[in-house]
Amino acid sequence: MSATTATTATLRSEWAKLTTVRSTGWTLFAAFAVTVAFGTLISALSNAQYDDLSQQEKLNFDAAGTSFTGGVLGQLAMIAFGVMVIGGEYSTGMIRNSLAAVPRRGLFYFGKLTVATGAALVVGITTSFVTFFAGQAVLGSHSTTIGAENVLRATLGAGLYMTLMAVFSMGVATMLRSSMLAMGILMPFFFLVTQILGSVPGAKDVAHYLPDQAGEAMARTVPLEDVPYGPGGGLLIMLLWVAASVLGGYLVLRGRDA
């Protein structure tokens, strides 16, 4: 079998796996629904409380970034998606059959990451645009437009962050070879630990370089004063985390038996 044929067959196989497992589809839908709903709610509350803000807070108000606050919860669904894509095969024992069918582990890993990343990207970008327009609809006179300065970039950044978080989680799940272990580490880490670190003076500078903090910078039009980088820096930091995770997953997959 030629390399092109093998790659095509692997991609088709991974697409079939992804589309026949209901849990992955529901998880992507949850990422969309939670992000849009929470972002719209926060935008509505921000509109109602806008007059109570100080003058400085009004000057720094980020209408687009307010819409994307739902990503705090949406990222957890994307983490679950990434973990299930990889960890599901280990938990069911299907990984043995998969590697028997595709003995070239690099090709197997590439195929799985490519298909799942494509699905996550479509959902992530769709979610970010729907979230933006829904949020602006309830912000009233404090809203912005997609054509305003940096708004399109922030909208794409929000969707790209959701995608990269799924890929990061796939790499972690491959290294840990367990859905339960990966979820048990990633969920508390992003839901609790990073928030705690961000509020501790001694650890705050370190927390700025964690994935979720970098993702927040990607989805803002008004930079946060205490963050030492902008959207471009946030993207670079996120890409480094993803690269380390994916590489670590590949090394574990290549070096250990199924």
Rounded to an integer, the average pLDDT of 112-141 is 95
Q: What's CA 167's distance to the chain center, in Å?
A: 7
The two tokens of residue 141 are 């006179």
Per the prediction, the chain carries an average pLDDT of 89
User: What is the pTM (predicted TM-score) of this model?
Assistant: 0.91
The whole-angstrom separation of Cα 104 and Cα 85 is: 19
Q: Which of 55-59, 65-69, 121-125, 227-231 has the highest mean pLDDT?
A: 121-125
Contacts with 166 (C-beta within 8 Å, 6 or more apart), sequence order: 78, 79, 81, 82, 85, 116, 117, 120, 124
pLDDT in tens, 29-72: 999 999 999 999 999 999 999 888 888 888 888 999 999 998 88
CB 154 within 8 Å of CB 148: no
Q: What is the DSSP string of 155-200?
A: HHHHHHHHHHHHHHHHHHHHHHT-HHHHHHHHHHIIIIIHHHHHHS
Termini Cα distance of the chain = 24
Q: Which of 99-108, 123-132, 181-190 has the highest mean pLDDT?
A: 123-132
Rounded to an integer, the average pLDDT of 135-158 is 94
Contacts with 256 (C-beta within 8 Å, 6 or more apart), sequence order: 177
The two tokens of residue 257 are 């038996």
The two tokens of residue 217 are 């910078």
CB 127 within 8 Å of CB 162: yes
Instruction: Give the pLDDT score at 2.
Output: 62
Task: Collapse the DSSP code of 18 into the 3-class scheme (helix H, G, I; strand E, B; otherwise coil) and give the result.
Answer: helix
Rounded to an integer, the average pLDDT of 98-116 is 89
Rounded to an integer, the average pLDDT of 192-214 is 79
